[in-house]
Amino acid sequence: MTALRMWFNGRPATLDDVGALLSTPYGHFTSMQARGGRVQGLQRHLARLQQATRALFASDLDLDAARGWLRDALGDADASVRMSVYSRAFDRERPLQPAAADLLLVLGPPRRVDAAPVRVCSVQGERAAPQLKHLGSFGLWYQRRLAQQRGYDDALLVTADGEVAEGTIWNVGFVDADGIVWPTAPALDGISMQLLKAGLAELGVAQTVRRVDLAEVERFRGAFFTNSTCAALPLAAIDAVTYTPGPATPTLLARALATQPWEAP
């Protein structure tokens, strides 16, 4: 797939359909990479959409219809996929009122990122409603912009009391002598992180989920970021703390990810 294409509730999207989202940017989404018409962790993506739809609109998303629309649009293509849920019936004055969900499906060219390790700087802050992958992304891109102005590649969000949470649009994991460490600060439960956790468990790799303070990141052997575009990208530095990424961790994480099936809609 080489061009951007959009569908609204299963039909080609119109300007009015997209305009409703732009005028009231209240909703949520999930992003994924498709290869040969299949998606790794598709069921997890759909479960995320259902959970967030109930939280934001007090209604259900028709997952069977969503699967069918995705199947028809995707075929057997390689593509970047974004499924956004909002509601033309949402009442800004009465946000507690249940509203029927609408689905905007966007397909574009597949993404492949440079696998070079990245340098990140810590910033105090957290996403609003961090448990949801919602449409309020201004602050995330702005923090990335500020980080790059300072000579870094991206930003790592840290709570007011110094607890590591997540990156701008990615989860973070750490490597110690025993295995993989995942932070517990409020953050999005990213799909790629879920897949890695499941795969590492299948491989019998030790994983710890605990509080990680910014002050202790120098004690780790390494760190990595994970999201739907790049499931495991080593970090070269967090602030002044530097790591020496080698092949062992990326290889392990790739093996873990490979245990997870690719699903057709």
**35 & 124 share domain:** no
Residue percentage of the chain with pLDDT more than 70: 100
**pLDDT (0 to 100) of residue 20:** 87
**Boundary of a domain, candidates 75, 108, 141:** 108
**47 & 135 share domain:** no
In-domain check, residue 233: yes
Residue 220 has pLDDT above 80, yes or no: yes
Among 76, 77, 73, smallest CA distance to 9 is for 73
Please compute the mean of the pLDDT values over residues 81-97 and round it to a whole number. Answer: 97
**Boundary of a domain, candidates 89, 108, 127:** 108
**pLDDT (0 to 100) of residue 205:** 98
Please compute the mean of the pLDDT values over residues 40-52 and round it to a whole number. Answer: 99
In-domain check, residue 65: yes
Residue 2 has pLDDT above 80, yes or no: no
Question: What is the count of structural domains for the chain?
Answer: 2
* Rg of the chain taking only CA atoms, in angstroms: 19
Environment class of 247 (CB within 10 Å of its CB; exposed 0-12, middle 13-18, buried 19+):
exposed
**162 & 104 share domain:** no
In-domain check, residue 264: no
CA-CA distance, 31 to 81, in Å (whole number)? Answer: 6
**pLDDT (0 to 100) of residue 92:** 94
The tokens describing 134, both together, are 């919602």
CATH number of the structural domain spanning residue 213: 3.20.10.10
In-domain check, residue 88: yes
**pLDDT (0 to 100) of residue 115:** 78
**Boundary of a domain, candidates 63, 87, 108:** 108
**103 & 138 share domain:** no
Per-residue confidence at 114, pLDDT binned at 50, 70, 90? Answer: confident
CA-CA distance, 14 to 101, in Å (whole number)? Answer: 17
The parent domain of residue 192 ranges over 118-259
**pLDDT (0 to 100) of residue 1:** 73
Q: What is the pLDDT of residues 147-159, one digit of tens each?
A: 999 999 999 999 9
**204 & 222 share domain:** yes
The SS3 call for residue 86 is: strand
CATH number of the structural domain spanning residue 63: 3.30.470.10
Please compute the mean of the pLDDT values over residues 50-69 and round it to a whole number. Answer: 98
**37 & 150 share domain:** no
Please compute the mean of the pLDDT values over residues 48-54 and round it to a whole number. Answer: 99
Contacts of 94 (CB under 8 A, 6+ apart): none
Residue 3 has pLDDT above 90, yes or no: no
**125 & 255 share domain:** yes
What secondary structure letter does DSSP report for 124? E
**pLDDT (0 to 100) of residue 223:** 98
Contact 187, 165 (CB under 8 A): yes
In-domain check, residue 75: yes
The tokens describing 42, both together, are 């598709």
In-domain check, residue 113: no
**97 & 9 share domain:** yes
pTM of the model: 0.95
For the beta carbon of residue 73, count every other beta carbon within 10 angstroms: 21
In-domain check, residue 187: yes
**196 & 136 share domain:** yes
**92 & 149 share domain:** no
**pLDDT (0 to 100) of residue 112:** 82
**pLDDT (0 to 100) of residue 5:** 95
**13 & 39 share domain:** yes
Please compute the mean of the pLDDT values over residues 17-35 and round it to a whole number. Answer: 95
Please compute the mean of the pLDDT values over residues 72-84 and round it to a whole number. Answer: 97
Could you tell me the CA-to-CA distances from 161 to 150, 167, 225 in Å, in that order? 23, 17, 22
**133 & 94 share domain:** no
Per-residue confidence at 113, pLDDT binned at 50, 70, 90? Answer: confident
In-domain check, residue 265: no
